[in-house]
Amino acid sequence: MRTTTTEHVDVVVVGAGLSGIGAACHLQRRCPDRSYLILEARDRIGGTWDLFRYPGIRSDSDMHTLGYSFSPWEDTKAIADGPAILRYIRDTAQRHRVLEKVRTGHRVVSAEWSSEAAGWTVDVRRADTGEVSRLSCAFLLMCSGYYRYDRGYTPEFAGTDRFAGPVVHPQQWPEDLDYAGKRVVVIGSGATAVTLVPAMAQTAAHVTMLQRSPSYVVSVPSEDGVAQRLRRRLPPMAAYHAVRWKNVALMTLSYQLSRRRPRLMKALIRRGAQRQLPDGYDVDVHFKPGYNPWDQRLCIVPDGDLFAALSQGAASIVTDQIDTFTERGLTLRSGRELEADVIVTATGLALLALGGVALAVDGESVRLPEKVTYKGMMLSGIPNLAFTVGYTNASWTLKADLTAEYFCRLLNHMRRRGYDRFVPAGEDLELTREPLINLASGYVLRSVDEFPAQGPKRPWRVHQNYALDVLDFRLGKVEDGVMRFSRRRPEPIPPW
Ligand SMILES: Cc1cc2nc3c(=O)[nH]c(=O)nc-3n(C[C@H](O)[C@H](O)[C@H](O)COP(=O)(O)OP(=O)(O)OC[C@H]3O[C@@H](n4cnc5c(N)ncnc54)[C@H](O)[C@@H]3O)c2cc1C
C-alpha cells in the first residue's frame, strides 16, 4: 500500500543509533536554518547499544573516544556496559532536543535522486502498518551502521538439529535464557566471545571458548586514573577533551607500533597474557594468532577479566575445529568431545552497506561496489549524499563526529554560495580501487565486495588516522577541485 505525501525536509538522517543521534545534534547546533528528520527502522533509538542484550555487553573502546566530542562522558568506567552507553545516547538526544525529530518504526527502503528537482525522493515503510510513504529531501545522511539487524552470521555447522539444548546467537539473545549451573560452549574468538565468556562464567557451571584460531587479547583498566584526576582539577569539557586526546595518542601509538614493529608488539601482547595466566598455560596455542596485530581488530578485556576466569578454572579455551554438533554437544576435528547444555555461536555479524537502501540516480540504480568513497563519507558520482562509517583502528565516534561536522560545514558553505548540489567527481578511479575496509577478519572478507571501494590517495583514500582527519575535515578546503558544486537555476541577475 502506498500513500504519496508532499512532506519535504532539507536533510533526512537514516538511523537513530550512536551516529544518527550525534549527527542530529551537530545539525541542530551548526545548521539551525536547515530542517531535518531522523528515520529509524526499529522501535527504539540506540542502534547497536539497544539491539545487543547478551551478558556482559560492553564497549571495547574507551568512552572518552566512543563518546561524542560535544557531550562529556562522566561515568567512572572508561570501558562501559551496553545499558550505560544506551543511557548516554538517550540523555544526549534529550539534552539536545533531537528526540522530537526521530520517527521510529520507519524503514527507508529506497531513495532516488533527481537532477531536475535537485533532490532525493525517499520511500519509507512503516513497521506497524506496512504502509509505504514518500517524502523528499535535499540531502541524505546515512547513519545506518554497517551490518544487518535481522540476523547475525552463523556458518553452516553439521548436525545442529541433533543438539538438544539451546543454540543462541548473541545478536538474538533470549531474555529468559537460563544458563546458571550449566555447561556452556561459546563458539568464536572475537570481541563478543571474549566478552561473553567471563560474564557467563560468573554463574555457569563452566564456560568453554571454542576457537578455530586465536586472537590477540589485551587487558586494559576499566577505569582511567588520569581521567579521574583531571576531572577533579578541570571543568568537565576540558578534562574530557584532554583524556580524549591522550587516548587518541595512545591508540595511534599502539596501531603504528603494530604496523611498523609487529614482532615487538606481538612480544608485548604475549607477555601481557602470560603474566595474567597460570604458570604453564599454553599461551602459544590459545593466544598466538597467525597474523600480525591489527591485521584484525585486537580484543580488549577490561581488567583482564577473561584471564581471571581462565585462571580460576571457571572458563577454558579449546583451539580446534568443529566436526559436528551432537545430541550432547560437539565433536571436534581432533576427535575430542565437548559436552554442553547451551551453545552460543559468537560467530559474528552479517555486514550490510548503507542500511540496505536501494539507491538510484536519475532513474539508474546505483551499484555500490562500482563507487569510490570520498573522505570515507561520500560516494563518487552520487549527489547530496553522505554516510557515516567509523574507524577500524579507533573508536567509531571519532570519525562519526568528524563526518557530521564536515557535512554541516559543506551545507553552510553551499548556503553561503547559493549552491544546491554537491557531487564528488572522480577521474581514473577505475584503475586504482582497493577494498574499503582494511581488516583481514572473516566477517569483512565475506562481504567487502558488496561495499564501495577506496582510491589510492586523498580524498579518495580512507586514512584511518584521526589526527590527520581533524586537520583535513576542519581546515581543508571544501572546494578542493574534486568536489563539484552547482545550482539548479542560475541566480537571477539583478536589473541594475
Ligand atoms: C556488540 C558490538 C560492540 C561494539 N563495540 C564497539 C566499541 O567498543 N567501539 C567502537 O568504536 N565500535 C564498536 N562497535 C561498532 C558499533 O556498531 C559502533 O560503535 C556504533 O554503535 C555504530 O553506531 P551507528 O549509529 O553508526 O550504527 P548502529 O548502531 O548500527 O545504528 C544504526 C541504526 O540505523 C538503523 N537503520 C539501519 N538501516 C536503516 C534503514 N534502512 N532505515 C531506517 N533505519 C535504519 C538501525 O535500525 C540502527 O538503529 C560495536 C559493535 C557491536 C555490534
Yes or no: say if 295 and 442 are a contact pair by the CB < 8 Å rule. no
Residue 15 alpha carbon to ligand 1 centre in Å: 9
Residue 457 has what pLDDT? Answer: 86
Residue 47 alpha carbon to ligand 1 centre in Å: 5
Q: Give residue for cell 563518546.
A: 67
Q: Which atom of ligand 1 is nearest to the CA of 354?
A: 38
Yes or no: say if 393 and 294 are a contact pair by the CB < 8 Å rule. yes
- Partner residues linked to 185 by β-bridges: 208, 343
Shortest-distance Cα residue to atom 9 of ligand 1: 61
**Mutational pocket test of ligand 1: of 144, 399, 402, the residue with most ligand atoms within 8 Å of the beta carbon:** 144
Over residues 51-65, the mean pLDDT reads 97
Over residues 420-425, the mean pLDDT reads 95
Q: Which long-range contacts (CB under 8 A, 24 or more apart) does 24-27 make?
A: 24/93, 24/96, 24/98, 24/101, 24/102, 25/68, 25/70, 25/71, 25/92, 25/93, 25/96, 25/98, 25/404, 26/70, 26/401, 26/404, 26/405, 26/407, 26/408, 27/404, 27/407, 27/408
**Mutational pocket test of ligand 1: of 48, 106, 398, 444, the residue with most ligand atoms within 8 Å of the beta carbon:** 48
Q: Which stretch of DSSP H or E encloses residue 13?
A: strand 2-14
Residue 6 has what pLDDT? Answer: 74
Shortest-distance Cα residue to atom 19 of ligand 1: 396
Q: Which atom of ligand 1 is nearest to the CA of 20?
A: 25
Tell me: pLDDT of 495 over 60: no
Residue 215 has what pLDDT? Answer: 96
242 falls in which pLDDT band (50, 70, 90)? very high
Helix, coil or strand: residue 120: strand
Q: Which atom of ligand 1 is nearest to the CA of 391?
A: 11
Residue 389 alpha carbon to ligand 1 centre in Å: 9
Yes or no: say if 316 and 201 are a contact pair by the CB < 8 Å rule. no
Residue 449 has what pLDDT? Answer: 78
Q: Which atom of ligand 1 is nearest to the CA of 52?
A: 1
Residue 310 alpha carbon to ligand 1 centre in Å: 30
Q: Which residues line ligand 1 (CB under 6 A)?
A: 14-20, 39-42, 47-48, 52, 59-61, 66, 107-108, 143-145, 149, 192, 355-357, 388, 390, 395-396
The 10s digit of each residue's pLDDT in 257-310 is: 999 999 999 999 999 999 999 999 999 999 999 999 988 889 999 999 999 999
Residue 388 has what pLDDT? Answer: 97
What's the half-sphere exposure (Cβ side, CA atoms, 13 Å) at 455? 23
Q: Which stretch of DSSP H or E encloses residue 434?
A: strand 434-435
Tell me: pLDDT of 466 over 80: yes
Over residues 77-92, the mean pLDDT reads 97
DSSP readout, 265-320?
A: HHHHHHHHHHHHS-TT--HHHHS--SS-BTTBPPEEEETTHHHHHHHHTSEEEEE-
196 falls in which pLDDT band (50, 70, 90)? very high
Residue 429 has what pLDDT? Answer: 62
Residue 20 alpha carbon to ligand 1 centre in Å: 9
What is the number of helices (H) and of strands (E) in the chain? Answer: 13, 25
Tell me: pLDDT of 492 over 60: no
List the alpha helices (DSSP H) in 153-212: 191-201
Helix, coil or strand: residue 131: coil
Tell me: pLDDT of 2 over 90: no
Which class for 481: exposed (0-12), middle (13-18), buried (19 or more C-beta within 10 A)? exposed
Q: Give residue for cell 583531571.
A: 230
Comparing 430 with 250, the larger pLDDT belongs to 250
Over residues 39-60, the mean pLDDT reads 97
Which three cell numbers, joined as nine digits, stand for 442?
A: 572473516
Yes or no: say if 140 and 15 are a contact pair by the CB < 8 Å rule. no
What's the half-sphere exposure (Cβ side, CA atoms, 13 Å) at 22? 33
List the alpha helices (DSSP H) in 313-464: 396-417, 442-447
Over residues 178-182, the mean pLDDT reads 98
The 10s digit of each residue's pLDDT in 137-176 is: 999 999 999 999 999 999 999 999 999 999 999 999 999 9
Residue 288 has what pLDDT? Answer: 96
Amino acid residing at 38: I
Shortest-distance Cα residue to atom 33 of ligand 1: 15
Cα distance between residue 86 and residue 116, in whole Å = 41
Residue 235 has what pLDDT? Answer: 95
Shortest-distance Cα residue to atom 20 of ligand 1: 18
Yes or no: say if 52 and 171 are a contact pair by the CB < 8 Å rule. yes
Residue 392 has what pLDDT? Answer: 87
The phi and psi torsions of 38 (rounded to 5 degrees) equal: -110, 125
- Partner residues linked to 428 by β-bridges: none
Report in angstroms the alpha-carbon separations of 306 from 30, 57, 59, 129, 202: 43, 14, 15, 45, 11
Which class for 332: exposed (0-12), middle (13-18), buried (19 or more C-beta within 10 A)? middle
Q: Which atom of ligand 1 is nearest to the CA of 46?
A: 49
405 falls in which pLDDT band (50, 70, 90)? very high
